[in-house]
Structure 1
Amino acid sequence: MPRLQAFLAVLAALPLLLSTASADGRIESFTLTSMSFEGNLIGVNPERSVRVYLPEGHGRGRQRFPVIYTLHDFFEREGTIFDDHRFGDLLDDAIEEGRMPKAIVVSADFSTPVANSLYTNSPVTGDWRTFMVEELVPAIDRRYRTLAKREARGLLGYHIGGYGAIRFAARHPDVFGSVYALHPVATGIGYVVRVDRPNWQRLQETPSLEDLKGDFMAEIFTSIFQAHTPNPDKPPLFIDQYARMEDGELIFDTVTSRRFYDSFFLEAEIPQFAEALNSLVAFKFDWGRHDPNQDHVVANEYYSKKLRQFGVRHEAEEYQGGWGDKTWDEGGRVETDVFPFFKQHLATE
């Protein structure tokens, strides 16, 4: 009798166990061979790694799913959002509880041998926008049961990935319908002229890219310059700097400074892309009030004001938080704001 009772108890619990297991999605990986990096000058690998979250139900039936493309931060790769930020678990819970529609989520590797591509085409690092729009998106549509239309494609990025999400959306509103940028950087110039970042002398004298390793700011600014003030004729970094050291004095190059401002900061391109941004289904970004770099706070505030000046519909929110906190944790921005945003704006079948 005890054995019979135990067997009956297992049978009674079986539907619940199956339901719990079937609620979870799965994550798979593949490598996409790209043609967008031929001729790059710093050894960017054309074999780009991709991680894909597939919601429960993708492997059966005929249902098609919307797709969210995620963009990572400096010094990260395609797996960071799932391995470190547990995005798959957050998605499982949100989908099971009805806070998110079932969606495919894609994370590709946009890193370079230095730090990051900044999601920008460059003769030094390659054609990252081409890779995204003409290679990655079509590859995902071929491999998976996607709902292949702009209203069903979203962009989600954080920090420099948020910057990239806004850049992609502005240039390709025909491909992406909604964009959410978590605490984006480089939206504007801020209010502090930073002459101490990076070590200008080191950038001038470094013998190789490898020599920059371990210098956080040097790698970040080299990535920025390779994307926005590239110079294929100036090895080993292949950049034009907007400042340099001469006899212990910092000298600014006004021509390169203007080129840098026009290319790098999102506020500078609003007049050019206002109409495209306004054609999006939805556009939102946020930032933490207590970011230790208050330039990010001031820049995002001004960026929102300038968007409004040009009639661009958007949501912008400053919240009680700092750099990188209150994002992936329980009750963080991903749960309270990102998921509801895509539930409201992402088209489903």
Structure 2
Amino acid sequence: MRGVLWSCVVFLLALAPLAARAEGRLVDFEVASRRFDGAKVGISPIRKVVAYLPDGYEAGSLRYPVLYFLPNLFDGHRALFDRDGAKAVLDRAIADGTVPPLILVSADFSTPAGSSFYATSPVTGDWTGFLSKDLVAAVDGRFRTLPVPASRGLLGDRMGGYGAIRTAMVAPGVFSSVYALHPVGTGVGLQTMHSRPNFERLAAARSLDDLGDDGFSRVFLGMYQAFLPNPDKPPFYADLPASGRGESLATDPVLTGKLQNAFLLDRLLPAHATDLKSLRGLMFDWGRFDGNADHVVANRAFAGLLEEFGVPNEAEEYRGWWGERHWTPGGRVEARALPFFGRTLAFD
């Protein structure tokens, strides 16, 4: 009988840590912004936002650093929670001491074509200002944050990784730490950007519906609206840097140069290297087996270019690919990004 009782005690003790596992909660809210007044493609001024609040937030008076998450192309602002299980990862990482308690915020940065590219354009609106000013002010006003740059971080996934680095460049002094997961747009790789969109279809289209399920054409249309805007050219209000297709492809070198200089991070770096030097931490990574070798080659080169300009950074190539999820147990966010922010953000 004693043996049976002891077995029950051991079993209950084993369950106790699971039962006591602390859990944060999610809060959905909206932020109204005037940054999109006059946008030619009709951007809603009401942006949806979700925030993760760590366990103990309601019961205490502690102030927390804020990590702003920038999603990938076509991912909604809640995808990291609804699809990828980010809440469980954050709960576990905080409970295990991987990172001290923090707030994580994810907002809707989408446009009708798909992505804002986290840029400012007369066609799609001032997304840089929305992120660095309106969203930050709304979060600091709503939650118990540490409202200083040293306690704000940017975490982005793929195109969101691009947006994280870009925002640190063009809106300095707001965020102090940046981690980009497999960023795109860091520089020119092996294939030209003209190899992906269907310029004949883009030129003939009179609405987004005419592009159907042509994902590449939608992605690049969003890019052109952000970086080659033309408010006097309906229906998409953007210039196309090429025409035709295949052997008949004709490239406009002036527009192509304008696009590269406005979009690619390596082109922006010379003017903004000093801003990146002021960060408390900069880290990015990429999967070696990305099916688009462009991304691998460009990220390798960008890491070297950062060194040339004297920008401290951590860059890592790992055994991974383009489409893998990073919010998995033991994945890149838990194993790399959260410990990085634990080291670089200022906590109360």
**Shorter-chain TM band:** over 0.9
Corresponding residue SS for 1:327: coil
Aligned to 1:121: 120
* Unpaired stretches in structure 2, ≥5 consecutive residues: 1-7
Aligned to 2:278: 279
Aligned to 2:187: 188
Q: Which moved more, 1:169-178 or 1:45-54?
A: 169-178
Distance 1:27 1:324, change over 3 A: same
Aligned to 2:177: 178
**What is the distance in 2 between the residues matched to 1:30 and 1:333?**
28
Residue type at the aligned position of 1:334? V
Residue type at the aligned position of 2:43? V
Aligned to 1:168: 167
The Cα shift of 1:147 comes to: 0.7
Corresponding residue SS for 1:347: coil
Residue type at the aligned position of 1:47? I
Residue type at the aligned position of 2:24? G
Corresponding residue SS for 2:261: helix
Distance 1:144 1:20, change over 3 A: farther
Corresponding residue SS for 2:154: strand
Distance 1:18 1:318, change over 3 A: closer
Distance 1:138 1:243, change over 3 A: same
Aligned to 1:224: 223
Corresponding residue SS for 1:306: helix
Whether contact under 8 Å (1:22, 1:56) holds in the other structure is no
The Cα shift of 1:194 comes to: 4.8
Residue type at the aligned position of 2:205? T
* Unpaired stretches in structure 1, ≥5 consecutive residues: 1-8
Q: Which moved more, 1:336-345 or 1:279-288?
A: 336-345
**What is the distance in 2 between the residues matched to 1:139 and 1:63?**
19
**What is the distance in 2 between the residues matched to 1:187 and 1:247?**
26
When normalised by structure 2's length, the TM-score is 0.93
The Cα shift of 1:330 comes to: 2.5
Aligned to 1:159: 158
**What is the distance in 2 between the residues matched to 1:294 and 1:66?**
36
- Aligned pairs for 1:19-34 within 5 A: 20=19, 23-34=22-33
**What is the distance in 2 between the residues matched to 1:21 and 1:159?**
35
Residue type at the aligned position of 1:258? G
- Aligned pairs for 1:182-261 within 5 A: 182-245=181-244, 249-261=248-260
The Cα shift of 1:81 comes to: 1.0
- Cα RMSD over matched residues? 2.1
Corresponding residue SS for 1:36: coil
The Cα shift of 1:280 comes to: 0.2
Residue type at the aligned position of 2:218? E
Aligned to 1:46: 45
Aligned to 1:338: 337
Residue type at the aligned position of 2:339? P
Whether contact under 8 Å (1:161, 1:184) holds in the other structure is yes
When normalised by structure 1's length, the TM-score is 0.93
Whether contact under 8 Å (2:89, 2:328) holds in the other structure is no
**What is the distance in 2 between the residues matched to 1:121 and 1:21?**
46
Distance 1:194 1:132, change over 3 A: closer
- Aligned pairs for 1:98-109 within 5 A: 98-109=97-108
Aligned to 1:267: 266
**Deviation readout 1:151-177 (Å, 9 max, x if unpaired):** 110000010000000011112331100
Distance 1:27 1:247, change over 3 A: closer
